[in-house]
Amino acid sequence: MRLTPLLLLLTAACGGNIADSSYDKTVDDTDVSGDTAGGDDSTSTDDSTSTDDSTSTDDSTSTDDSTSTDDSSATDDSEDPGDDTSDPGGDEPDSTDYRQTGPWAVAVTTGSEVMDADCTLSYSVYAPTDGTDNGHVMLAHGFSRTAANVADWANHLASWGYVVVTPELCFSSLFDADHPRNADNMVTLAGAVWGVDEVTYIGHSAGGLSAVLAASLDPRALGAVGLDPVDSSETDGLLAAPSITVPLYGLFAESGLCNSNNNGVTMLDAAPNSRDLRISGGDHCDFESPSDDICRFLCNGSGSSYSEEEINLTVRGMTAAFVAWQNGDDAGGEGWWELGGDWYSYLNAYGIVQEI
C-alpha cells in the first residue's frame, strides 16, 4: 500500500461542480467517437474496458478491426462542450486551437497483453480511421478508476491524428496499489504495440505518477504530462524525477485532500525540465473525463468562476498542444505552456491558467 486508506479512498474519486462563466472555447462540430469508452463509471477497479467492443484477453498485441467502433464525424451538439459560450474579450490567437476537436474521425479497438502471472493488461486503442499516425500516447487512468475515465481525452487526442492507448492498470486498487509496476507495464505495453517508436506518457492522479515513472524507464519517451498528478507516500516520483531529462509538465487543480495537497508539484519541480500550471478553480476530477457523481461527492471543489466545460476544454487544448509540440508536428504547441506564448497569454489573461 503506497497511500493511506483515507487518502486512497479520496483519490479514488474525482470530480467537481463548477459554476458557469463566459469564455470563448469555440469548438467545431466534428466531434467523433460517440461510442468511445466513456460514461459515468463507478470507481470500480474492474479491468474490463467500457467500450462497445468485447475486450479479448488473448495474448497478442493486435487490435482486431472487427471490434472497431468506427465513428463518423457526427455533428452532435449535445456532446460538444463548447457551443454555449461567449467571447471573454481580447483577441483569440490565430494559431491552432487545440481545444477544438481535430479533423480526424476516430475508431476504438481493444486488445490485451500478458505482463506476468499477476497481470494480463487489457487496453483500448483510439486511432484515426484513415490510418493516420502522427505519434503515440500512453494514457493512464487514476487510482481505483478505469480506462473509461480518460476516454474523452483519448478520443480528443486521436482526433488530432495521434494513436492513443488507454490501459486498464493492474495495480491501481485499494488493496493492490503498485505504481512502479504500473509504470513498468505501461513501458512494456508501449513496446508491444509500437516497437521502438517514440511515445508520450500522460496520466491522471496516480496515473500521472505512473506516467512520470514510465518516462524515467523508457528511452523512447518524448515527455510526460501529469493531469493533477499525485506522488506516493514513498515519494516514488520525487526520487525518480531528477534523472528525467525529457519534459515533465503538469496541470493542477486547487490543493486538497484528493490530490494529496498538490504534492505532485514537488515531484515535477525536482525534474530538470518541468513546468507546473494551475487550472483556476479546478478540482481533482476535472482532470479525468468523463467523471461521475461519486467523484463529485468526495472531491467537490469550493466553486469557481469557470464552468466545468471551460476547465475541460482548457485541459484538452493544453494536453493536445503538448503532444503536437513534443512530436515535432507544431512548434506552436509551446505557446500554450510557456510565458509569452500566444495561447498561454490569452488563457492567463482570462485567469483560467495560472502560475503555481
User: What pLDDT score does 88 carry?
Assistant: 52
pLDDT at 174: 85
* Beta strand pairing call for 163-167 and 119-128: antiparallel
Backbone φ and ψ for 172, nearest 5 degrees, come out as: -140, 40
pLDDT at 111: 98
Report residue 355 as a C-alpha cell.
502560475
What does pLDDT average to in each consecutive run of 10 residues of the chain (356 residues)?
A: 42 36 41 39 38 38 40 39 45 96 98 97 98 98 95 98 98 93 98 98 98 98 98 96 98 95 97 98 94 86 84 98 98 97 97 97
The alpha helices in the chain, defined as continuous H runs, are: 5-11, 151-159, 179-194, 206-217, 236-240, 263-269, 293-299, 308-326, 342-350
pTM: predicted TM-score of the whole model, two decimal places: 0.78
* pLDDT score of 248: 98
C-alpha to C-alpha distance for 222 and 247, rounded to whole angstroms: 7
Structural domains present in the chain: 5-38+50-355 (3.40.50.1820)
Give the pLDDT confidence score for residue 87 in this predicted structure. Answer: 47
Residue 138 CA from chain centroid, whole number: 9
List the Cα angle 217/110/12 in 5-degree steps: 60
Separation between Cα atoms, residue 222 and residue 277, nearest integer Å: 20
Note whether 39 and 55 are within 8 A (CB): no
